[in-house]
Structure 1
Amino acid sequence: MPELLNTEPELGCIDLYTFTLPGGQVLRWTGGDQAIAINGTTWALGPGLRRGRTRQCVGIEVDTLDVTVFDLPADLDAEERAMQLNGTPLLAYIARGGFEHARLELQRAFLRAADMASLNPPIAGTLVSFTGRVATTKGDRTQQLLGIKSDTEQLDVMVPAEVYQPGCSNTLYDAGCGVNRDAKSVNSVANTASDATRTRFGHGLTQAAGHFDLGVVRFLTGANAGVSRTVKRHTVGGAGGTVNEIAVLQPFPFPVAPGDGFVAYPGCDKTQPTCSKKFNNVIRFRGKPYVPAAETVM
């Protein structure tokens, strides 16, 4: 047996990172020092990448993987160092939220150790070692740390799901709610640039004020194409009746420019009047609005 083992070639491995951004853009980077092509798909020589350990265990639990993205070595030429996404340097793009909720698939490509230094080395096979979504980002000008939670996080739900409460237990637009999101969506364009905080911009929507509160706005064109944010406040009117504004909970990665197209979906505050008047869907309302309020008896 030892003689047989000694005849087998020593294997090496290279990490392959596949990031899918919220807008659908796919980034494939290799953790090695050269591009890797497998069955017509190429993982390019991307930024500097360093990751933590992955674990394999018996049972179901949420695993977390830390991936650090950092500046490329200084000995690379300027063209190789100038990695940008949507016209923004990569680290700045991440810092502004461009990788928020992006998905990662980490694969390990196996090859003979003797071939690792060769150009276009033959790959013996690949193994998916981790999948998940980017949950947190933090860093500075030189590096960004991505905290990625495994897909088993989706199993972290409340049991039992049915709760006796005044508000509806459905999620807006899900199968239990039954409201068609596309039928309620409205397309429009920004008619003013965002403010300095990138959380407010003017709109041309004609719906009544508050119609999109707690809803979602997603840009279709411009620097923020594919980026979604929860609507904090949808106002109509204002000073002189000319201020129509959408305010979101979190800033957009990039400034909103006049003419940027977006789609907006109305939100729901889970109350029976909203379900009835805004969505005409009270037949599917699953709240218990007549549950007595908690009281203290003296």
Structure 2
Amino acid sequence: MTGVSDDFRARLRQPATTLAHAWRVTRTDGEVFGFTDHDEDLAFAGTVFCARTGWTAGEAEAGLGLAAGTHAVDGALSSEAIREEDIAAGLFDGARVEIFRVDWRKPDDHLLIDVADFGEITRNDVGMTVELRGLAARLDRRHGRFYRRRCDAALGDARCRVDLAPWTRVGRIASLAERRLVLEGLGTFDLDPYRDGRLAVGTVPERTVAGLRAADDGTVVADIVEALAPSWAVGDEARVTAGCDRSFATCRERFANGLNFRGFPHIPGADAALAVAKSDGLHDGSAVVP
């Protein structure tokens, strides 16, 4: 093991060791966070690694060659560690994670065992699980754009340029149950554009609207794809934003935004790619029908 002192080697050979995991997270904006699964803070390598943040090592997977290894780590969502609103804002997207094994009795004896990137973050009622993707996973990332018929922009972003203000309805939560909200104060409006849209309450990450339907009492029932946030309560302000299926027809007809469409709707279909000489039939770019 390179960089390991003889004293550290000797202690590693003992039947019982005093080792802990430590993680140093460096965001793309330069902010640095340190976490450890030890019960007291540790300081080494110029970083203080905070304890009592719920960070614990999970499953790890590795393979030969260029196969991307993965780790999993469980952690708490709190103001002292990583906040849910920071995740929603994308501040931890692509963050660099250094994984250490350290002797908590003598933190200067530590070993960097892996370097990874923040991957998928799964939230639950008490915290989160972060997938840490090995450096080889960068080889699998998309660079540039894919040529495909549907738009690859997000509705309302800088590439899409649709003004979402006219497409946002604001009301309040009248009642809530598992994956369902009853909203009041939205007024009367066409529900179709808002199916598969987004619902936001406070600073909690948005949820996807699976369906909307108007009730006889003037309220609107919203079915949500993801689980409701525990912090949501009756009376909270809720904002429902229209959705987009990323097709050229929807972009042009619903949002009058065809000039900013970020797809390639006129790419020839499968029949053009698989064309054969024949005396009849039409090659119009549509899908091949068996």
Which band: TM-score by shorter chain?
A: 0.5 to 0.7
Q: Does 1:284 align with 2:269?
A: no
TM (norm. structure 2) is 0.59
Offset at residue 214 of structure 1 (A): 2.0
C-alpha distance 160-281 of structure 1, shift in aligned 2 (>3 A): closer
Q: Does 1:229 align with 2:229?
A: no
CA distance in 1 between partners of 2:109 and 2:172 (Å): 49
Match of 1:51 in 2: 58
Offset at residue 218 of structure 1 (A): 2.6
Match of 2:71 in 1: 65
C-alpha distance 15-189 of structure 1, shift in aligned 2 (>3 A): farther
User: In structure 1, what residue type is equivalent to 2:193?
Assistant: H
* Structure 1, unaligned runs of 5 or more: 21-25, 70-82, 87-97
- Tell me if the contact between 2:168 and 2:241 (Cα under 8 Å) persists in the aligned partners: yes
C-alpha distance 228-259 of structure 1, shift in aligned 2 (>3 A): same
Give the secondary-structure state (helix, strand or coil) at the position aligned to 1:211: helix
Choose from 119, 122, 133 the match for 2:119: 133
- Tell me if the contact between 2:200 and 2:240 (Cα under 8 Å) persists in the aligned partners: yes
C-alpha distance 187-6 of structure 1, shift in aligned 2 (>3 A): closer
- Tell me if the contact between 2:173 and 2:181 (Cα under 8 Å) persists in the aligned partners: no
- Tell me if the contact between 1:211 and 1:234 (Cα under 8 Å) persists in the aligned partners: no
Offset at residue 9 of structure 1 (A): 4.8
TM (norm. structure 1) is 0.58
Q: Does 1:107 align with 2:98?
A: yes
User: In structure 2, what residue type is equivalent to 1:129?
Assistant: V
CA distance in 1 between partners of 2:164 and 2:52 (Å): 39
In angstroms, what is the RMSD of aligned CA positions? 4.9
User: In structure 2, what residue type is equivalent to 1:233?
Assistant: G
Choose from 229, 235, 238 the match for 1:259: 235
Offset at residue 271 of structure 1 (A): 3.4
Choose from 235, 238, 244 the match for 2:215: 238
Choose from 137, 150, 169 the match for 2:133: 150
Percentage of matched positions with identical amino acids? 14
C-alpha distance 209-18 of structure 1, shift in aligned 2 (>3 A): farther
* Structure 2, unaligned runs of 5 or more: 10-17, 27-31, 80-86, 269-283
C-alpha distance 63-84 of structure 1, shift in aligned 2 (>3 A): closer
Offset at residue 243 of structure 1 (A): 2.3
User: In structure 2, what residue type is equivalent to 1:10?
Assistant: F
Which structure ranks higher in relative contact order (CA pairs < 8 Å, sequence separation ≥ 6)?
A: 1
Match of 1:179 in 2: 161
- Tell me if the contact between 1:186 and 1:265 (Cα under 8 Å) persists in the aligned partners: yes
CA distance in 1 between partners of 2:113 and 2:120 (Å): 21
C-alpha distance 36-190 of structure 1, shift in aligned 2 (>3 A): farther
User: In structure 2, what residue type is equivalent to 1:201?
Assistant: V
